Amino acid sequence: MAEDIPVVPKAGSLLLNSGNIVNWNRLKRKPSQSPTISECIGTTFQAFINGSDKNELQYVTDLNCVHQKYKETVPKADRGDFKLTVKIFLCSLLPIDVLQEAVDKVLSELDVSFIETVIVAFPEVDNEELTLEVVQPYWKALETLVYRETVISLGLADFDKKLLEQLYEFAEVKPMVNQVNLESCCVMPKELVEFAKEKDIQLLTHNDPREKDGEGWDPLWVLRYSVLVKCRGIVKSKGYLLKAERD
């Protein structure tokens, strides 16, 4: 039996844009379900491969995979009607400039000049607790985005009361949101709720899983964006961007 020929044997970097997954036909048939990050990445990559010249792909070193059928931008004339929220999942503790890179990418792909809210989810640090010392340089980088008026407000994911309080005291731009994963915490801790109420920090819930590396690829960051119609409270657009590398 002949061995399968690799489709992109020379590719060492990957940038991926799923497009608006709200408009995926599969979601229209199952409105209560949403695809996982892995499904979005796999479907987008396959659509890109199917629409590309297989011979040319043998020599490509930098992949820019866009699900062209569903790629959308935010209408400039109606920008005031929408709220854009971005959640950046850091897959490892990389140099802080990855935050600027991820934000620049979503601004470019959606053709917007600012983001209402950016939320950052930090990776597990060798099964150790995340510390303020680790978070500080990333938060300063995020504050720079606010000073440049690229981002209006900042948030975090899965900070307990102790770390949230430490960051709040350190930060010049205070966190406005803290997402809590209810899979690991069925009820909001009382002390966290009290502190958030005192400091006017919005507590939200999420059930985002920690994604594993794809075979041979090291994801640097995954970004999810959602565009909400303010007056109607419905999601107009939602999608994923990804950057990954491999040796």
Per DSSP, which regions of 26-171 are E strands? Answer: 62-66, 82-90, 115-121, 151-157
Which pLDDT score is estimated for 33? 62
pLDDT at 138 over 90: yes
How many whole angstroms separate alpha carbon 5 and alpha carbon 144?
Answer: 46
Task: Read off the pLDDT of residues 5-17 as tens digits, 9 standing for 90 and up.
Answer: 678 888 999 999 9
Of 11-25, 149-163, 182-196, least confident by mean pLDDT is 182-196
pLDDT at 235 over 80: yes
pLDDT at 206: 81
Q: What percent of the chain has pLDDT over 90?
A: 65
Q: Flag whether pLDDT at 108 surpasses 90.
A: yes
Predicted confidence at residue 178, as pLDDT, reads 96
| Cβ-contact 27, 33 below 8 angstroms | yes
% of the chain at pLDDT higher than 70 = 88
Specify the amino acid at residue 241. Answer: L
Question: Mean pLDDT across the stretch 78-105?
Answer: 94
- Please say if the pLDDT value at position 211 is more than 70: no
Q: Write out the H or E segment, with its range, that includes residue 27.
A: helix 25-29
Q: Which pLDDT does position 89 carry in this prediction? A: 94
At 17 the pLDDT is 95
- In this prediction, residues 120-148 reach a mean pLDDT of 92
pLDDT higher than 60, residue 24? yes
Mean pLDDT score across all residues of the chain: 88
Rounded CA separation 119/84 (Å): 11
In angstroms, the CA 95 to CA 40 distance is: 26
pLDDT of residue 230 exceeding 60: yes
- Beta-carbon contacts of 108 under 8 Å, excluding residues fewer than 6 positions away, are none
Mean pLDDT lowest for which of 87-96, 126-135, 156-165, 184-193? 184-193
Stretch 178-189: mean pLDDT, rounded?
Answer: 77
pLDDT reading at 62 higher than 90: yes
Residue 217 contacts residue 246 (beta carbons within 8 Å): yes
Among 78-92, 180-194, 196-210, which is the least confidently predicted range? 180-194
